[in-house]
Structure 1
Amino acid sequence: MHSRETFPERRPAGSLLRGAVAIALACLLGASRVGAGLMPSGRSGPLAIWDVSLSKTQVARYETAEITFQMEGRWRNPFNPDEVRVDAVFTAPDGTQITVPAFFYQDYERSVSGGRESYRAAGRPCWKVRFAPSQPGRYTCVLAAKNGEHELTVKAPPFICTTASGRRGYLRISSHNRLYFEFDDGTPFFGVAMDKAMGPVFQYERMYKRFAEAGGNFNRLFLTHGNFNIMERVVGRPGPDRGAGKLNLEYCWCVDRVLELGEQYGVYHMLTLTNQTNFRTNNGGWDVNVYNAKNGGFLKAPGEYFTDERAQRIFQHLLRYAVARWGASTSVFSWDLWNEVSAAEGYQPETAARWHRRMARYLRSVDWAKHVIHTNFGTLNGDAEIDGLPEMELVSTNIYAVKDIAHIAEVWTKRLIEQYKKPYMLTEYGIGHRMGPAGYAPHDPERVMVHNGLWSPLVSGSAGTGMAWDWNWLDDERFYRYVKAAARFVDGIPFSRRGWRGVQVEAFEFADGSQRPYYADTLVEGFPGNYRFPPEAAEHELFTVLENGRLDRQDLLHARL
């Protein structure tokens, strides 16, 4: 092992010349996008670290300290820690050591024209470490690099963590009430939420301001599509950061920007890392999946993703990169391993459970900040083989195509909380999937379903409001008005320090004594959108209409009457 005791300075001119030659050759071979200025990610020199710098010498508690450095060595893929890895070992004031992975980085400049964003690489690529200290006092750091058989340790500049901070730490599951969330400093939190999972950065710049002003504080991002497609889908332009096992650096940069907005406005995020829509052959998703052998990948069918060792190793590499790049952000609440996992082609509960257990355990081993880990189902009742795993710390399900979202959300929020004793979030809900280019707005212009889906989980024991899916539905004055009302209602209620009690109603009377009882239509609605019913559903043939007009077991009534 080689060791250096001083902070590395710039490399000698000869070393920089070798890098310039490598860049020129890569450009000639078409390995980089010359127009965008992206340098090739591969390297072929002796292992060395230089130009180590620190973002600031005094950092407030839970504020991000960023170390930047250049590194030379021999590798083809800087996103593969089996080829090259750097870990920053921080020593806290009390002597505790925290290991934080480093990541490969490229800066970008953004331009917006005609409602579209474009990005141009700015400056040289480099390596970075991001870390948020929690203890006041002096921190030291050593960078430990490994490249093949070569190892190197280099000291990074120390910094002081100050107590001057209004930050409350990371958002976690409460130790007082495991059904709710609170911050490291014990401040209770209730999620007033939406599901704006995709879109260009400028949309978040506009929406987060209005959302936060109304009292909104929780969202979900798909790191699998559009401007956040960090790996999973094929991108038209070739480049050294494209394909299975590599991270799309410009879209990673977009995730950076949205998380920065989250920190600015107090919006906390679920980060979704895999998506069923990219693992299906009936919707075109598999056709643009980087793992597909037809796209230069190595899988012949979507279902192989759950069992192929190479695919699992690559996903672990993605997890390590995600932790390195975004784990320090207090705007990150959780790692959501899948969106609607049971809809992926080839899904088998037992196999998928093994996959989730492996990934969650690996993620817990590398995530120094200990963010919440969970997955997501597109069916309300999820899957007990996975939701019941101790590694899955939260239950998250979705529902579409129901008319009475208030009742459905109430029934399943209470049932899932009782079944798993874990926090529950209704992570998506919406009218349907075939609404046309105008989205949901023409079908529900008053956003009645949005309103009911916000409130029903809130008063049924969920850790947050329901999260309405954005399809031309959310960025609207009515939506923000509903958000504001929910936010005002929960403000000041310490949900993580309280429990719910049922209210016993002995009699019902109209406030206006002159009002006479009246008859109204009863809506008998089955349970569409959930095609994996519990076994007792097939045996339940008789249903009772209760005095309030509801069915006793609506969840067992099939949609096809």
Structure 2
Amino acid sequence: MTFPLLHPPQIPAVRPLVSTKVAQYRMAEYSVKVAGSFVDPFDPEDVALDVRVTAPSGKRLSIPGFLYQPYRRTVGRATQPIAISTTDALAAGKASPTRTVDDAEIMVPSGPTEWRVRFTPREVGAHRLEFVLKTRQGVARKAGPALIATKGKGGFVRVSPRDRRFFALEDGASYWPLGANIAWAGARGTRDYDDWLAEYAKAGANWGRLWLSPHWATFALETKKLGRIDLGNAWRLDYVLRVAQGKGIRLALCIDSYNVLRDRVSWPEWERSPHRLLLKRPADFWTDQVADRLYRNKLRYLVARWGAFTGTMAWEFWNEVDGTADYKVAPIRAWHERMADFLHRIDPYGHPITTSFGGNGEGAGDRSVFELKGIDYTQSHRYDDPDLALGVFAAEERLGSLGKPHFVGEVGADASGDRAADDPEGLQVHDPLWASLAAGAAGAAMPWWWDSYVHPKKLYGLFAAAANFTKRVDFDREGFRSVTPSVRFEAEPNPLPRRDAVPLADGVGWSAAPFHKPLTVRIDRNGMNAPRLAKLQQGVGNHGDLHNPVTFETDLPWPTRLVVEVGDVSGYGGAAIRIVRDGETLVEQAFPDPDGDRDTATLKQYAKDYIVEIPAGRHRVTVENPGQDWFVANYRVVDAVERRAPPLLVRAVVGRRTAIVWARHEDRTWRAAVAHKKIDPIAPTRLTLSGLAKGQWRVERWDTWSGKRLGCTNVTVGTDGLAHLSLPRIENDLALKLIKL
């Protein structure tokens, strides 16, 4: 019997790819020639290259190396993988798993594989380097040339030590993320990013978010062989990170999306995932020891290849993890705790770590995951809010209270499409952005639909307006506090105008909750008394224990009408709506599921408004779902309540030397704009802002669409901390920036 000859590890040569003298926070890179016997270059138990760094302070660091291959971009005809909405649609021939295009980006290897190490010095002075190669046959060591770091600026993003609700750079500069999701490209590949990043940079944006899975994404790392890295897509990510970093844009890298552990419906990828080679079902991923080991190997590769980029803003474990099959929070929370601990230990640069949940985050227990010590910042995803600004305020109130940075990581008017024809000017980008500023969020609300909406409609000016406004605002130095300014008419109108009564309907979840039971909303001429309602009206079948009809009790001297805005309907059996006024059934409509449970995709065809007239006097109107499963519902009682204050939605944050105020016409919601609802301008008003330091303040008025300053005045604040300000006639919105003199 003969055995293969196993060779001990060797490091014949180390070649610097840049100068051995770099600025602090600038990346050095080395090509390392290795020899020895090993099988899997992506398994550190088989082969591991590291550089041991001794910094000028004496601090010791371990920097992992990685397998690299150079590529060049070409253009030609190619067949590319694409997403599918359901596996049933694929089986029925209604969807294709691929597309063939003539203008595709094709990655062509331009050289052999080699080992590389990237290192970014964070101290000034001489760094000693020792390269270490470890295989199953032993360990080899080789001293490398000293690396000299001169004084630099910038550095990696950190949770600010001055105010842990915000971010900062290592050199102390404040960092307020502003940008959009740019998760994947079209057939043009990285050429799309050449265009997009140039536009965002010109607008002053400084943030973006990329997806590293599923397999059809531009930067998909996993191959059909579990545990292997796609070196062509890794080169693409190198390229885009270098371009973004050169333009001052930092990218959050979202490592995985729920799709890879989702089967059958809602954009599933389980059937095409390499995890099927190891696991019997998607939910096994969270507890399987081999899956854990493979994921740690992937994290090591991520840190080795992209950790040294200061343009890597953060690591995000999962996009909308609650979308995975058979979701249960306990094992997923434990998984996040294990992986966050591991990633913090191996990442010498200390990038912030996060994860994300879908619109059902609250019901999925996202708070219990975000509370983990290893999760550094939190985020929300908001879609389908009738008033997008209120959605941002609600998200900040809920997760901002954890004392960690929080911002809305995805926002859009409609989760099912960009609605570009309905919103060509970008209201669904504009309002969440300015609401984030006024709410004291750690960053802007980041729009989705970057490729089909933001870029084609050339909405980059909306980011430029916010970038101009936030110049020289040091968010983590202000100690911002949220306040709600009071507003009043300069001269009270007679008769008083009226407004719609709109209860908040955003409660989500699949377990017992205050909004999963029958509730009553009471409305009279002076206002509305409403509990928080559920986003979903539950039927009597699938989740009968959550059945939650809503009753409206009105006592008004004028007639009104109730508008029930029905949105998505469950694809697991459909739903129905019944509206009863004073015991008389006025609306009875079924929303049947045409194919039963064969295709469980959400039903879009039943979206419309259901309207019931309500005469003057006392009345009782109940909205109920007697169907099998849920439908999305929002409610409006039209012109019901007298306006004793101007119809302004106003929020503000007040800091030591800066205050930010955003005032928007209360009726100019995204939903109203799409419906082309006529909205009368608001006459001049008086606003009182509290919590300011005594002294002189400059008050700047800003146009939030153009990013131009409209004018400024000075105001004196006394010991009561109040500033009394006059607002001009407002048609849409207005921002104020107060600066202590």
TM-score, normalized by the shorter chain, greater than 0.5: yes
Residue of structure 2 in register with 1:65 after alignment: 28
User: Which letter maps to 1:431?
Assistant: A
Is 1:450 the equivalent of 2:420?
Answer: no
Q: Is the 8 A contact 1:53 1:157 kept in 2?
A: no
Query: Whole-Å Cα distance in 2 between the matches of residues 539 and 213 of structure 1?
Result: 50
Residue of structure 2 in register with 1:50 after alignment: 12
User: Which letter maps to 1:244?
Assistant: L
Work out which of the residue numbers 275, 288, 292 in structure 2 matches 1:291.
275
Change (3 A) 1:515 1:186: farther
1:543 deviates by: 4.0
Residue of structure 2 in register with 1:190 after alignment: 176
Q: Is the 8 A contact 1:93 1:136 kept in 2?
A: yes
Query: Whole-Å Cα distance in 2 between the matches of residues 533 and 152 of structure 1?
Result: 56
Residue of structure 2 in register with 1:491 after alignment: 471
User: Which letter maps to 1:62?
Assistant: Y
Name whichever of 543-552 and 519-528 sits farther off. 543-552
Query: Whole-Å Cα distance in 1 between the matches of residues 527 and 357 of structure 2?
Result: 29
User: Which letter maps to 1:134?
Assistant: R
1:148-187 matches, within 5 Å, as: 148-163=136-151, 165=152, 167-187=153-173
1:554 deviates by: 4.3
Q: Is the 8 A contact 2:261 2:282 kept in 1?
A: yes
1:168 deviates by: 0.9
More strand by share: 2
Name whichever of 344-353 and 501-510 sits farther off. 501-510
Change (3 A) 1:431 1:112: farther
1:419-458 matches, within 5 Å, as: 420-435=402-417, 439-458=418-437
Query: Whole-Å Cα distance in 1 between the matches of residues 281 and 36 of structure 2?
Result: 36
1:557 deviates by: 5.8
Query: Whole-Å Cα distance in 2 between the matches of residues 123 and 72 of structure 1?
Result: 18
Q: Is the 8 A contact 1:458 1:466 kept in 2?
A: no
User: Which letter maps to 1:192?
Assistant: L
Query: Whole-Å Cα distance in 2 between the matches of residues 372 and 555 of structure 1?
Result: 34
1:342 deviates by: 1.1
Query: Whole-Å Cα distance in 2 between the matches of residues 347 and 107 of structure 1?
Result: 39
Query: Whole-Å Cα distance in 1 between the matches of residues 30 and 521 of structure 2?
Result: 63
1:83 deviates by: 0.5
Is 1:205 the equivalent of 2:194?
Answer: yes
User: Which letter maps to 2:323?
Assistant: A
Q: Is the 8 A contact 2:439 2:482 kept in 1?
A: no
User: Which letter maps to 1:410?
Assistant: F
Residue of structure 2 in register with 1:538 after alignment: 516
Residue of structure 2 in register with 1:36 after alignment: none
Work out which of the residue numbers 329, 345, 350 in structure 1 matches 2:330.
350
Query: Whole-Å Cα distance in 2 between the matches of residues 154 and 64 of structure 1?
Result: 21
User: Which letter maps to 1:483?
Assistant: F
1:313 deviates by: 0.4
Q: Is the 8 A contact 1:142 1:155 kept in 2?
A: yes
Q: Is the 8 A contact 1:269 1:333 kept in 2?
A: yes
1:441-474: CA deviations, max 9, x gaps?
2242222111112221221121111011125111
Structure 2: runs of 5 or more not aligned: 77-101, 537-631, 635-741
1:334 deviates by: 0.9
Residue of structure 2 in register with 1:215 after alignment: 204
Change (3 A) 1:506 1:560: closer
1:136 deviates by: 1.7
Is 1:98 the equivalent of 2:61?
Answer: yes
Aligned to 1:261, what secondary structure does the other structure show? helix
1:376-455 matches, within 5 Å, as: 376-379=356-359, 380-381=361-362, 383-418=366-401, 420-435=402-417, 439-455=418-434
Q: Is the 8 A contact 1:440 1:472 kept in 2?
A: no
1:385 deviates by: 2.4
Change (3 A) 1:190 1:52: same
Aligned to 2:202, what secondary structure does the other structure show? helix
User: Which letter maps to 2:272?
Assistant: V
Name whichever of 404-413 and 544-553 sits farther off. 544-553
Query: Whole-Å Cα distance in 2 between the matches of residues 508 and 452 of structure 1?
Result: 23
Is 1:474 the equivalent of 2:454?
Answer: yes
User: Which letter maps to 2:468?
Assistant: R
Work out which of the residue numbers 251, 262, 265 in structure 1 matches 2:247.
265
1:505 deviates by: 4.2
Aligned to 2:421, what secondary structure does the other structure show? coil
Change (3 A) 1:519 1:476: farther
Query: Whole-Å Cα distance in 2 between the matches of residues 545 and 388 of structure 1?
Result: 38
User: Which letter maps to 2:194?
Assistant: E
1:493 deviates by: 0.8
Larger-gyration structure (1/2) = 2
Structure 1: runs of 5 or more not aligned: 1-42, 235-241
1:215-250: CA deviations, max 9, x gaps?
11111110114220001xx5xxxxxxx521111101
Query: Whole-Å Cα distance in 2 between the matches of residues 549 and 62 of structure 1?
Result: 56
Change (3 A) 1:45 1:378: same
Change (3 A) 1:532 1:416: farther
Q: Is the 8 A contact 2:520 2:531 kept in 1?
A: no
Query: Whole-Å Cα distance in 1 between the matches of residues 414 and 281 of structure 2?
Result: 28
Query: Whole-Å Cα distance in 1 between the matches of residues 524 and 310 of structure 2?
Result: 46
Query: Whole-Å Cα distance in 1 between the matches of residues 210 and 476 of structure 2?
Result: 25
Change (3 A) 1:555 1:61: farther
Say which structure, 1 or 2, has more relative contact order (CA 8 Å, 6+ apart). Answer: 1
Name whichever of 183-192 and 501-510 sits farther off. 501-510
Is 1:129 the equivalent of 2:117?
Answer: yes
Q: Is the 8 A contact 1:414 1:461 kept in 2?
A: no
Aligned to 1:273, what secondary structure does the other structure show? strand
Aligned to 2:178, what secondary structure does the other structure show? coil
1:190-233: CA deviations, max 9, x gaps?
111211111121111111111111111111110114220001xx
Q: How many aligned positions are there? A: 498
1:541 deviates by: 2.1
Query: Whole-Å Cα distance in 2 between the matches of residues 151 and 548 of structure 1?
Result: 79
User: Which letter maps to 2:431?
Assistant: N
Work out which of the residue numbers 292, 296, 318 in structure 1 matches 2:298.
318
Aligned to 2:333, what secondary structure does the other structure show? helix
Q: Is the 8 A contact 1:135 1:161 kept in 2?
A: yes
Q: Is the 8 A contact 2:377 2:406 kept in 1?
A: yes
Change (3 A) 1:125 1:452: same
Q: Is the 8 A contact 1:188 1:495 kept in 2?
A: yes
Aligned to 2:143, what secondary structure does the other structure show? strand
Aligned to 1:154, what secondary structure does the other structure show? strand
Is 1:146 the equivalent of 2:134?
Answer: yes
Q: Is the 8 A contact 1:540 1:556 kept in 2?
A: no
User: Which letter maps to 1:180?
Assistant: F
Query: Whole-Å Cα distance in 2 between the matches of residues 260 and 534 of structure 1?
Result: 48
Change (3 A) 1:82 1:210: same
User: Which letter maps to 1:223?
Assistant: L
Q: TM-score, normalised by structure 2?
A: 0.64
Q: Is the 8 A contact 2:505 2:532 kept in 1?
A: yes
